[in-house]
Amino acid sequence: MKRIKLDAIDSTNDYLKSLCFSQTLENFTIVTAQYQLNGKGQMGAKWDSESSKNLITSILIKNTLQSSNEIFDLNVVVTLAVVSALKKYKIPNLSIKWPNDIMADNKKIGGILIENTFKSNSEIISIVGIGLNVNQTNFDNLPNASSLKIEMNSDFDIEKLLANIIEDIKINVSVLKSGLVENLWLQYNKKLFMKGVNTSFATATGEIFSGIIQGVSPFGQLIVLLNNQTVKYFRIKEIQMLY
Ligand code: BTN
Protein backbone atom coordinates (compact mmCIF):
# COMPACT_ATOMS: atom_id res chain seq x y z
CA MET A 1 0.00 0.00 0.00
CA LYS A 2 1.53 3.30 -1.10
CA ARG A 3 1.42 6.20 1.37
CA ILE A 4 2.21 9.80 0.51
CA LYS A 5 2.56 12.26 3.40
CA LEU A 6 2.37 15.95 2.54
CA ASP A 7 2.77 19.03 4.71
CA ALA A 8 0.55 21.38 2.72
CA ILE A 9 -1.32 21.00 -0.56
CA ASP A 10 -4.27 22.62 -2.32
CA SER A 11 -6.46 19.56 -1.89
CA THR A 12 -5.45 15.94 -1.29
CA ASN A 13 -8.29 14.87 -3.59
CA ASP A 14 -6.98 17.01 -6.47
CA TYR A 15 -3.40 15.90 -5.79
CA LEU A 16 -4.27 12.19 -5.85
CA LYS A 17 -6.46 12.63 -8.92
CA SER A 18 -3.71 14.22 -10.97
CA LEU A 19 -1.14 11.69 -9.74
CA CYS A 20 -3.49 8.97 -10.85
CA PHE A 21 -3.50 10.32 -14.40
CA SER A 22 0.27 10.62 -14.61
CA GLN A 23 1.16 7.16 -13.27
CA THR A 24 -0.33 3.81 -12.37
CA LEU A 25 -1.00 3.77 -8.66
CA GLU A 26 -1.69 0.83 -6.39
CA ASN A 27 -5.22 0.35 -5.15
CA PHE A 28 -5.63 1.98 -1.70
CA THR A 29 -2.88 4.52 -2.31
CA ILE A 30 -3.25 7.01 0.54
CA VAL A 31 -2.41 10.69 0.57
CA THR A 32 -2.47 12.68 3.80
CA ALA A 33 -1.74 16.33 4.47
CA GLN A 34 -1.30 18.45 7.57
CA TYR A 35 -2.98 21.37 5.85
CA GLN A 36 -5.03 22.11 2.73
CA LEU A 37 -4.97 25.55 1.08
CA ASN A 38 -8.07 24.79 -0.92
CA GLY A 39 -9.81 21.88 0.79
CA LYS A 40 -12.96 20.88 -1.05
CA GLY A 41 -16.29 19.94 0.50
CA GLN A 42 -19.51 18.62 -1.01
CA MET A 43 -21.35 20.70 -3.61
CA GLY A 44 -18.55 23.17 -4.17
CA ALA A 45 -18.21 24.08 -0.48
CA LYS A 46 -14.84 24.70 1.16
CA TRP A 47 -13.36 22.37 3.74
CA ASP A 48 -11.30 24.25 6.31
CA SER A 49 -9.15 22.48 8.83
CA GLU A 50 -6.55 23.81 11.27
CA SER A 51 -3.03 22.66 10.44
CA SER A 52 -1.90 19.31 11.96
CA LYS A 53 -4.99 18.90 14.14
CA ASN A 54 -7.24 16.80 11.94
CA LEU A 55 -7.34 13.86 9.59
CA ILE A 56 -7.12 15.02 5.99
CA THR A 57 -6.82 12.12 3.62
CA SER A 58 -7.63 10.87 0.13
CA ILE A 59 -7.66 7.20 -0.77
CA LEU A 60 -7.63 5.69 -4.23
CA ILE A 61 -10.19 2.93 -4.71
CA LYS A 62 -10.32 1.17 -8.06
CA ASN A 63 -11.44 -2.21 -9.45
CA THR A 64 -14.42 -2.06 -7.12
CA LEU A 65 -17.43 -0.39 -8.74
CA GLN A 66 -18.76 -2.25 -11.77
CA SER A 67 -21.18 0.33 -13.13
CA SER A 68 -22.43 3.85 -12.53
CA ASN A 69 -25.52 2.32 -10.83
CA GLU A 70 -23.27 1.31 -7.94
CA ILE A 71 -21.80 4.75 -7.31
CA PHE A 72 -23.64 5.29 -4.02
CA ASP A 73 -22.51 1.87 -2.74
CA LEU A 74 -19.07 3.37 -2.21
CA ASN A 75 -20.55 6.17 -0.06
CA VAL A 76 -22.16 3.47 2.05
CA VAL A 77 -18.90 1.50 2.28
CA VAL A 78 -16.87 4.51 3.36
CA THR A 79 -19.30 6.26 5.73
CA LEU A 80 -19.95 3.00 7.56
CA ALA A 81 -16.22 2.29 7.78
CA VAL A 82 -15.60 5.69 9.38
CA VAL A 83 -18.47 5.15 11.81
CA SER A 84 -17.31 1.66 12.77
CA ALA A 85 -13.72 2.85 13.26
CA LEU A 86 -14.99 5.68 15.50
CA LYS A 87 -17.18 3.29 17.50
CA LYS A 88 -13.99 1.61 18.75
CA TYR A 89 -13.17 4.92 20.47
CA LYS A 90 -16.59 4.93 22.12
CA ILE A 91 -17.67 8.21 20.50
CA PRO A 92 -21.31 8.53 21.57
CA ASN A 93 -24.35 8.82 19.29
CA LEU A 94 -22.67 8.45 15.93
CA SER A 95 -24.86 8.73 12.87
CA ILE A 96 -24.69 9.48 9.15
CA LYS A 97 -26.35 12.60 7.84
CA TRP A 98 -27.35 11.97 4.25
CA PRO A 99 -25.46 11.63 2.06
CA ASN A 100 -22.21 11.23 3.93
CA ASP A 101 -21.65 13.54 6.87
CA ILE A 102 -20.40 11.89 10.03
CA MET A 103 -22.30 13.14 13.07
CA ALA A 104 -21.81 12.87 16.82
CA ASP A 105 -25.13 13.80 18.44
CA ASN A 106 -26.34 16.66 16.24
CA LYS A 107 -22.88 17.99 15.36
CA LYS A 108 -20.84 17.28 12.25
CA ILE A 109 -17.45 15.77 13.03
CA GLY A 110 -16.48 14.66 9.55
CA GLY A 111 -17.28 14.77 5.87
CA ILE A 112 -16.56 12.65 2.83
CA LEU A 113 -16.10 13.75 -0.76
CA ILE A 114 -15.93 10.94 -3.32
CA GLU A 115 -14.94 11.90 -6.85
CA ASN A 116 -15.39 9.24 -9.52
CA THR A 117 -13.77 9.15 -12.93
CA PHE A 118 -15.20 6.93 -15.65
CA LYS A 119 -12.43 5.72 -17.92
CA SER A 120 -12.99 4.78 -21.58
CA ASN A 121 -12.44 1.09 -20.78
CA SER A 122 -15.47 1.38 -18.40
CA GLU A 123 -13.18 1.28 -15.36
CA ILE A 124 -14.32 3.52 -12.49
CA ILE A 125 -11.63 5.17 -10.43
CA SER A 126 -12.71 6.72 -7.13
CA ILE A 127 -10.88 9.27 -5.06
CA VAL A 128 -12.28 9.02 -1.55
CA GLY A 129 -11.58 12.18 0.43
CA ILE A 130 -12.13 12.11 4.17
CA GLY A 131 -11.94 15.10 6.48
CA LEU A 132 -12.37 14.25 10.14
CA ASN A 133 -12.22 16.83 12.91
CA VAL A 134 -9.94 15.23 15.46
CA ASN A 135 -8.01 17.49 17.84
CA GLN A 136 -9.34 20.90 16.74
CA THR A 137 -11.50 22.60 19.36
CA ASN A 138 -12.19 25.99 17.83
CA PHE A 139 -14.79 26.18 15.05
CA ASP A 140 -15.50 29.89 14.57
CA ASN A 141 -18.70 30.52 12.61
CA LEU A 142 -19.45 26.80 12.38
CA PRO A 143 -22.00 26.25 15.16
CA ASN A 144 -22.85 22.75 13.91
CA ALA A 145 -19.25 21.48 13.88
CA SER A 146 -17.55 19.40 16.52
CA SER A 147 -14.50 17.15 16.85
CA LEU A 148 -13.46 13.97 18.59
CA LYS A 149 -11.57 16.02 21.17
CA ILE A 150 -14.61 18.15 21.95
CA GLU A 151 -16.78 15.04 22.25
CA MET A 152 -14.38 13.01 24.37
CA ASN A 153 -12.28 15.64 26.10
CA SER A 154 -9.01 14.02 25.10
CA ASP A 155 -6.47 14.05 22.27
CA PHE A 156 -6.45 11.39 19.59
CA ASP A 157 -3.63 9.78 17.61
CA ILE A 158 -4.47 10.74 14.01
CA GLU A 159 -2.23 8.04 12.48
CA LYS A 160 -3.90 5.26 14.49
CA LEU A 161 -7.29 6.62 13.56
CA LEU A 162 -6.35 6.54 9.87
CA ALA A 163 -5.11 2.94 10.20
CA ASN A 164 -8.42 1.90 11.78
CA ILE A 165 -10.45 3.65 9.09
CA ILE A 166 -8.42 2.08 6.26
CA GLU A 167 -8.81 -1.35 7.84
CA ASP A 168 -12.60 -0.93 8.00
CA ILE A 169 -12.80 0.48 4.46
CA LYS A 170 -10.94 -2.60 3.20
CA ILE A 171 -13.31 -4.91 5.07
CA ASN A 172 -16.36 -3.13 3.60
CA VAL A 173 -14.87 -3.09 0.08
CA SER A 174 -14.48 -6.87 0.28
CA VAL A 175 -18.10 -7.16 1.46
CA LEU A 176 -19.13 -5.07 -1.57
CA LYS A 177 -17.02 -7.20 -3.92
CA SER A 178 -18.46 -10.43 -2.52
CA GLY A 179 -21.96 -9.25 -3.47
CA LEU A 180 -23.19 -8.69 0.10
CA VAL A 181 -23.57 -4.93 -0.13
CA GLU A 182 -27.21 -5.25 1.03
CA ASN A 183 -25.91 -5.87 4.56
CA LEU A 184 -24.05 -2.58 4.46
CA TRP A 185 -27.11 -0.80 3.11
CA LEU A 186 -29.17 -2.09 6.05
CA GLN A 187 -26.62 -0.69 8.48
CA TYR A 188 -26.38 2.60 6.59
CA ASN A 189 -30.14 3.11 6.66
CA LYS A 190 -30.20 2.21 10.36
CA LYS A 191 -27.55 4.83 11.13
CA LEU A 192 -29.28 7.67 9.25
CA PHE A 193 -29.42 10.96 11.13
CA MET A 194 -33.02 12.14 11.81
CA LYS A 195 -34.58 9.00 10.36
CA GLY A 196 -38.22 8.72 11.36
CA VAL A 197 -38.25 12.23 12.80
CA ASN A 198 -40.14 15.20 11.36
CA THR A 199 -37.45 17.32 9.73
CA SER A 200 -37.32 20.61 7.79
CA PHE A 201 -35.72 20.88 4.39
CA ALA A 202 -34.93 23.67 1.93
CA THR A 203 -35.11 23.17 -1.81
CA ALA A 204 -32.46 24.59 -4.16
CA THR A 205 -34.82 27.52 -4.81
CA GLY A 206 -35.23 28.26 -1.10
CA GLU A 207 -38.64 26.68 -0.52
CA ILE A 208 -39.01 25.24 2.98
CA PHE A 209 -40.99 22.08 3.68
CA SER A 210 -41.02 19.33 6.25
CA GLY A 211 -41.26 15.58 6.15
CA ILE A 212 -40.08 12.35 7.73
CA ILE A 213 -36.95 10.64 6.41
CA GLN A 214 -37.67 7.02 5.49
CA GLY A 215 -34.26 6.01 4.18
CA VAL A 216 -31.95 6.31 1.18
CA SER A 217 -32.63 4.62 -2.17
CA PRO A 218 -30.01 2.43 -3.93
CA PHE A 219 -29.19 5.40 -6.16
CA GLY A 220 -28.54 7.65 -3.18
CA GLN A 221 -31.79 9.61 -3.15
CA LEU A 222 -33.26 10.63 0.20
CA ILE A 223 -36.74 9.13 0.64
CA VAL A 224 -39.05 11.53 2.51
CA LEU A 225 -42.66 11.07 3.60
CA LEU A 226 -44.25 14.47 3.07
CA ASN A 227 -47.01 15.96 5.22
CA ASN A 228 -49.57 15.18 2.49
CA GLN A 229 -48.64 11.49 2.97
CA THR A 230 -46.88 11.18 -0.41
CA VAL A 231 -43.38 9.77 -0.57
CA LYS A 232 -40.80 11.69 -2.57
CA TYR A 233 -37.25 10.86 -3.65
CA PHE A 234 -34.72 13.70 -3.61
CA ARG A 235 -31.34 13.85 -5.30
CA ILE A 236 -28.35 15.35 -3.50
CA LYS A 237 -28.48 18.73 -5.23
CA GLU A 238 -32.25 19.14 -4.76
CA ILE A 239 -32.58 19.61 -1.01
CA GLN A 240 -30.70 20.52 2.10
CA MET A 241 -31.67 19.37 5.57
CA LEU A 242 -32.27 22.17 8.09
CA TYR A 243 -31.63 21.13 11.64
C1 BTN B 1 -18.00 17.61 3.11
O2 BTN B 1 -18.51 17.25 4.17
O3 BTN B 1 -18.42 18.61 2.52
C4 BTN B 1 -16.89 16.79 2.54
C5 BTN B 1 -15.55 17.20 3.09
C6 BTN B 1 -14.40 16.41 2.53
C7 BTN B 1 -13.07 16.99 2.97
C8 BTN B 1 -11.91 16.11 2.59
S9 BTN B 1 -10.42 16.61 3.38
C10 BTN B 1 -9.51 15.52 2.38
C11 BTN B 1 -10.12 15.58 0.98
N12 BTN B 1 -9.53 16.64 0.20
C13 BTN B 1 -10.41 17.59 -0.10
O14 BTN B 1 -10.15 18.62 -0.75
N15 BTN B 1 -11.60 17.30 0.44
C16 BTN B 1 -11.58 16.02 1.11
CB-ligand 1 contact for 58 (6 Å cutoff)? yes
For β-strands 222-226 and 231-234, DSSP reports them as antiparallel
Q: How far apart are the first and last CA of the chain?
A: 40
The backbone region for 146, taken as left when phi is positive above 0, alpha when psi lies in -120 to 50, beta otherwise, is beta
- What are the pLDDT digits (tens) for 166-203? 999 999 999 999 999 999 999 999 999 999 999 999 99
Residue bearing the CA closest to ligand 1, atom 16: 129
Q: Which atom of ligand 1 is nearest to the CA of 108?
A: 2
pLDDT for 100 equals 93
Contacts of residue 63, Cβ cutoff 8 Å, sequence gap at least 6: 27, 123
Q: What is the mean pLDDT of the chain?
A: 96
Q: What percent of the chain has pLDDT over 90?
A: 97
pLDDT for 121 equals 83
Give the pLDDT mean for 89-95.
Answer: 97
Q: Is the dihedral of CA 187, 192, 198, 200 positive or negative?
A: negative
CB-ligand 1 contact for 32 (6 Å cutoff)? no
**What is the DSSP code (8-state) at residue 218?**
T
Residue bearing the CA closest to ligand 1, atom 15: 40
| Surface-to-core class of residue 18, CB atoms within 10 Å of its CB (0-12 exposed, 13-18 middle, 19+ buried) | exposed
Q: How far is the CA of 46 from the centre of ligand 1 (A)?
A: 8
Q: Distance of CA 161 to CAs 52, 60, 127, 136, 186, Å?
A: 14, 18, 19, 15, 25
CB-ligand 1 contact for 47 (6 Å cutoff)? yes
pTM value? 0.97
Question: What element of type H or E holds 107?
Answer: strand 107-118
Question: What element of type H or E holds 162?
Answer: helix 158-177
Give the pLDDT mean for 52-76.
Answer: 96
